[in-house]
Structure 1
Amino acid sequence: MTIILTDTSWNELWQKTSDRSKDFETSDRGKIPNVCNTYDWQVELRSGLTLSIHEVELTEDIVWTRDRWDDSQFGLSFFLSGKVRIERYSLTDETDESVGKYYSECNCNFKETEWWKAGEKFSRIYLKIEPQQFFQSFGEQELEQIPIYLRQAVIGDRVQPYYQQREITQQMWMVLSNILKCPYQGLMKRMYLESQTMELIAFHFQQCQEQDIGDRHFPTKNLSDIDRIYQAKEILLKNLESPPCLIDLARQVGLNEFKLKRGFRKVFGTSAFKYLHDYRLEQARQLLALGDMNVEEVALKIGFDSRSYFASSFRKKFGLNPKQYFQHCQKSL
């Protein structure tokens, strides 16, 4: 049996079963009957930096729709066991998050769906970074050495969606092991975990710098080009009904077509028009759920001239055709 969860239903189940303890660190352990055993532990190590460990062992397959994100949340997530399939709507195609990999991200209020399989134990170490607080003591030259998606949030207070997956290196594995086997308690534990966490972040930044140097075709250190990629995204989203073609879009933002295509995929993990396609469908889903427009009106609103193509695309992404989804939402009201 597959269980459908939302953030709200998960929190309701969790509140009934969790056993919480709290000192300078917080831990929650619980068993949700016929769903999972779960353990969550976290500690704020310094202003703008939180370390957490998550473990889940499922007894049933789960499809989890998540839509409650913190606008300013950046993070690094290291997968220690298990595999989860995830789609971040309007940000990435479906991706596997599995042992041996880690990702850097900015959630930025993007919705996602996760597919979890029963019988697997999923565990990860997650670092939450709040850029304005974490980097407040860094000088201008130091900030030039951090990844562009973080630098934009610090210097310009700009929060942009971002996701990139990488391999966990041998150096990272050693630090992750040290975190799990921390031999200290109290103040010494906090100091030790902060030092190990900072080392993980340093290794991540090193990988980013090495990629910048190795990628000659797309100069990620050039803030002007990055800004143009984000500008291209904004132009697409502001013109859902009649977006420009790729050549015109490239001309509007001052890039050649090849550079725009390569840059968009590098920044957002997918092509410009796959990004637009997924964004349109997510907007359609939200409009249908509101119930103020019928299916044809929604299709036109988001730029689908063909109702049949809209219906097939919607069904492929969400498992129901638009009319079925509309009727389902009306019954739930």
Structure 2
Amino acid sequence: MSGKPVTDVGTGPAPFVLSRPHGVVRAEGIGRRFTAVSDAVSALRSGAADAVVGALPFDPTDPAALFAPGRLHREQALGGRAPVRHSLTHLVEIPDAATHRERVRRAVAAIHAGDVDKVVLARTVGAMLDSPIGIGVLLDALAHGNSEHNAFAVDTGHSWLLGASPELLLHKSGREVTCHPYAGSAPRSSDPEADREARDELAASGKDHREHAFVVEHLRERLAPISEELSVATRPQLLSTGEMWHLATPIRARLADPDVGALDLALRLSPTPAVCGTPTETAAQFIRDHEEPRGLYAGAVGWADAQGNGEWMVTIRCLELNADRQTFRTWAGGGIVADSDPDAELAETTAKLRTVLRALGVDAR
């Protein structure tokens, strides 16, 4: 059965929605906004806020888009609805294909020089739709585009952040924490045989397994000092979205300190090497030096309550929709390691962009 749609009538769309296979968390009303994450943490700890929802930036020095909602509702997962067709105008790719390939070559050179082990490089597509799109319509289309009905929407105060991230940064209930990192991927094909070949090649890819291992080790190192129990699967799973095959590893922890909340964990774990690289600070500086500012892309989106519970997704497969509800920008990235190929990395970003473009009703073959 389909979940309740997020409508664009009456009082307008809900200012925060996170749809997951186990249900939806939906905010009602906007109280105090927080651009400084430390203020949001303080509000939760002091009891000034019963909950905080929204998005954390990729760069912790950038503004967050968090707020205290009037209420949080829990509902069944969104069933989703097929996209409404649109076409694009004023399309701009930043950087262009040749520049992105050159950035990949520079990253590979830095890796061979021993400056960094892995770095994730992203590119941006900006465009305008031929007509405005409703927030609820787009959110439902994003949920429709994947079997788990993952989707999110955040009113940032000046724009909307929407997406269908498949990657769970963390889910926390009581002392129990679950993470499900994704890293290492291959584009899917509409041809069943080619799709199986892509899956099998990913399963056998040493390059993708090395890329994935960096992410798993990062989470292990961040969780181990604060956990009394920690379980990490020995081999990654093969999972798929509508556009991509992914390597993914389930991680479970039981925290030693019950006062460590979901927002605290999101700050501790993000950004992971899946969207940044490793070592974290070195990779982040490479990204600052070679990319345009990411803002909220590749940060985390989710909710946390005053009891410490919450859920945060890695902010990928997303777009920022301007107040006119026509102009937007979207991002896609890929992990660069020593044997990365610039053409293959460009193709990977193109495949990942299809999640958003298809939800917008744009032909993204």
TM-score normalised according to structure 1 size: 0.27
Identify the structure with the greater helix proportion: 1
Greater relative contact order: 1 or 2 (C-alpha under 8 angstroms, separation 6 or more)? Answer: 2
Identify the structure with the greater strand proportion: 2
Larger radius of gyration: 1
